């Protein structure tokens, strides 16, 4: 056993992993497998958020179908998506997470990204003195409150797994010790390296959709601090897509964010009004989503997949609004002004590319899951997770 193991007597280290959406589970699946397979680690999986909501496909079944047992389920959403209701839901979520974490009593809690589920769970873990390991810290999304949530998660966390060297430097800039901040790459690179994507025909048959060329894969989530109101942005987006002659649309379901109900209602009405040109899929799951993405001409919307998955696959994407503003952009990503005519023009240009570009390498090489599991196994993780502020005047953030 590694000489720096922080537990005594060879006890297995218990690692709790939180997943709240179909998207973060797709990114965490490889790491979950690595943790589950490591004889020195004991996996405890917590499902929450939209995994437990019928309207969003109750995707906890996908986790169980993958053979993973759930150690806890923590329902948190009331079904109302106005700001006051969401704030109240988050407040009620903290004791739910606290009870689950107190029962599991993990040596470390793994959270990913910037969502309210992760923020509330990390708040509970911080109060319980449970160390937190955070994936995808140091990133910037200026058009969403996710930005503040992500940086707050960084300050609550003891271990950090950044997706690029620049993101690692930002975490250090926030006062974190460089020795606890790792660049292991992005988990999506692992997923794309290990998955055997479905053929176009298989995707069409499995999800009962059409994928003629050209097709756009469209995902839009409301963002509280975007350049315009979510309902205005989605109207411009849909009108712009409709204005591209011969373009078929496959639209996926929105996240449970503030303003989701109105956005989903508009998408539903649009889908019903244009059955000849539009197919809707609530949740593809990771394999289905990436397989569909590989088969389309362009990815459109404001999901992180426009700046992460699509560039890695080499599929052109058109990013709408400010939800992802501040993230590194590959040259396959176009950001038009959020107006129907400019959106339509950007989509036309993207689908005119006759061949896929080479995938971006800014997110590291495959192996994120193995590297991260090894760090979770071998790193010294004290409890309580006391840490000192790392002052940049004393040492460069570029270490």
Q: Quick: pLDDT tens for 167-189.
A: 999 999 999 999 999 999 999 88
pLDDT at 3 over 90: no
Average pLDDT, the chain: 91
What is the pLDDT averaged over residues 203-229? 92
The model scores a pTM over 0.95: no
Question: Is residue 48 within 8 Å of residue 74, measured between CB atoms?
Answer: yes
Q: Mind listing the pLDDT tens digit for each residue in 15-61?
A: 999 999 888 998 999 999 999 999 999 999 999 998 998 887 888 98
Six token digits for residue 121: 């769970």
What is the pLDDT averaged over residues 130-147? 88
Six token digits for residue 311: 């560039």
DSSP 50: G
Q: CA–CA separation, 384 vs 9, rounded Å?
A: 19
CA 360 to centroid of chain Cα atoms: 18
pLDDT at 104 over 90: yes
CATH architecture of the region 13-185+367-378: 3-Layer(aba) Sandwich (3.40)
Helices 116-127 & 146-156 angle (0-180, nearest 10): 30
Long-range contacts, 389-397 (Cβ 8 Å, 24+): 389/175, 390/172, 390/175, 390/176, 390/177, 390/178, 391/175, 392/172, 392/173, 395/178, 397/169, 397/172, 397/173, 397/178
pLDDT at 275 over 90: yes
Identical topology for domains 13-185+367-378 and 198-352: yes
pLDDT at 1 over 90: no
CA 109 to centroid of chain Cα atoms: 17
Helix extents (H) in 228-366: 230-242, 260-273, 285-295, 309-313, 340-351
- Interior angle at CA 296, CA 293 and CA 298, nearest 5: 90
Q: CA–CA separation, 136 vs 107, rounded Å?
A: 20
DSSP 255: P
What is the pLDDT averaged over residues 204-209? 98
DSSP 299: E
DSSP string, 159-188: EEEESSHHHHHHHHHTT--GGGEEE---HH
In angstroms, what CA-CA distances link 208 with 201, 203, 271? 10, 8, 15
Question: What are the domain boundaries of the chain?
Answer: 13-185+367-378, 198-352
Q: Is 47 exposed, middle or buried (0-12, 13-18, 19+ CB in 10 A)?
A: buried
Does the domain at residues 198-352 carry the CATH identifier 3.40.50.2000?
yes
């Amino acid at each position: 056993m590694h000489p720096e193991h922080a537990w005594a007597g060879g006890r297995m280290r218990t690692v709790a992993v939180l997943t709240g959406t179909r998207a973060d589970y797709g990114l965490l699946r490889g790491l979950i497998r690595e943790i589950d397979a490591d004889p020195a680690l004991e996996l405890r999986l917590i499902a929450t958020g939209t995994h437990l909501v019928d309207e969003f496909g109750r995707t906890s079944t996908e986790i169980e179908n993958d053979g993973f047992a759930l150690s806890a389920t923590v329902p948190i959403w009331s079904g109302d998506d106005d700001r006051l209701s969401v704030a109240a839901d988050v407040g009620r979520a903290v004791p739910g997470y606290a009870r689950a974490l107190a029962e599991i009593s993990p040596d470390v809690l793994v959270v990913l990204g910037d969502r309210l589920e992760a923020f509330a769970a990390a708040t509970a873990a911080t109060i319980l003195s449970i160390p937190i390991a955070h994936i995808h810290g140091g990133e910037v999304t200026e058009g969403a409150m996710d930005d503040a949530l992500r940086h707050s998660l960084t300050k609550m966390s003891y271990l950090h797994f950044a997706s690029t060297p620049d993101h690692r430097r930002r975490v250090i800039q926030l006062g974190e010790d460089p020795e606890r901040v790792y660049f292991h790459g992005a988990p999506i690179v692992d997923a794309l390296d290990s998955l055997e994507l479905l053929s176009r025909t298989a995707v069409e048959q499995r999800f009962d959709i059409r994928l003629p060329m050209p097709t756009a894969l469209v995902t839009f989530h409301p963002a509280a601090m975007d350049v315009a109101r979510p309902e205005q942005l989605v109207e411009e987006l849909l009108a712009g897509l409709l204005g591209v002659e011969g373009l078929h649309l496959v639209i996926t379901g929105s996240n449970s964010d503030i303003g989701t109900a109105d956005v989903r209602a508009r998408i539903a009405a649009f889908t019903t009004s244009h059955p000849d040109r539009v197919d809707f899929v609530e949740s593809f799951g990771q394999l289905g989503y990436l397989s569909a993405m590989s088969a389309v001409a362009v990815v459109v919307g404001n999901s992180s997949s426009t700046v992460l998955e699509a560039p890695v696959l080499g599929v052109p994407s058109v990013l709408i609004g400010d939800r992802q503003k501040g993230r590194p952009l590959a040259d396959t990503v176009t950001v038009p002004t959020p107006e129907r005519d400019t959106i339509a023009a950007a989509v036309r240009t993207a689908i005119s590319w006759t061949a896929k570009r080479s995938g971006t390498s800014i997110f590291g090489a495959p192996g994120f899951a193995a590297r991260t599991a090894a760090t979770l196994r071998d790193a010294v993780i004290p409890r309580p997770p006391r840490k000192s502020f790392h002052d940049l005047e004393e040492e460069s953030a570029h270490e």
